């Protein structure tokens, strides 16, 4: 079993049976040029996964605005 499959199994086990959808976004450390390998995996309905990503982005945007206004 490869590392990614093992991680996915652990995530599913941790989330339990009532989880409708999840999104996992990972990245490597930046290389000397600042480039990173970013990967995304989701389980569940594609539209729900998109909704989760959009709402997460809004949360981060609001937190950034709050920090900038201080």
* Tens digits of residue pLDDT in 24-46: 898 999 999 999 999 998 999 99
Q: Which residue has the higher pLDDT, 1 or 29?
A: 29
Domain coordinates in residue numbering, the chain: 20-68
The single residue listed with the structure tokens 């049976």 is 17
Q: Could you tell me which residue, 70 or 49, shows the higher pLDDT?
A: 49
Per DSSP (E only), the strands in 1-70 are 22-27, 38-43
Average pLDDT over every residue of 17-25: 91
Residue 29 is encoded by which pair of tokens? 């450390």
Q: With cut-offs at 50, 70 and 90, classify the pLDDT of residue 1.
A: low
Share of the chain above pLDDT 70, in %: 97
What's the pTM? 0.74
């Amino acid at each position: 079993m490869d590392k990614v499959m093992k991680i996915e199994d652990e995530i599913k086990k941790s989330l339990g049976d009532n989880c409708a959808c999840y999104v996992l976004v990972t990245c490597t450390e930046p290389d000397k040029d600042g480039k990173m390998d970013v990967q995304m995996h989701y389980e569940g309905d594609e539209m729900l996964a998109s909704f989760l990503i959009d709402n997460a982005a809004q949360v981060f945007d609001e937190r950034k605005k709050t920090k900038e206004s201080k």
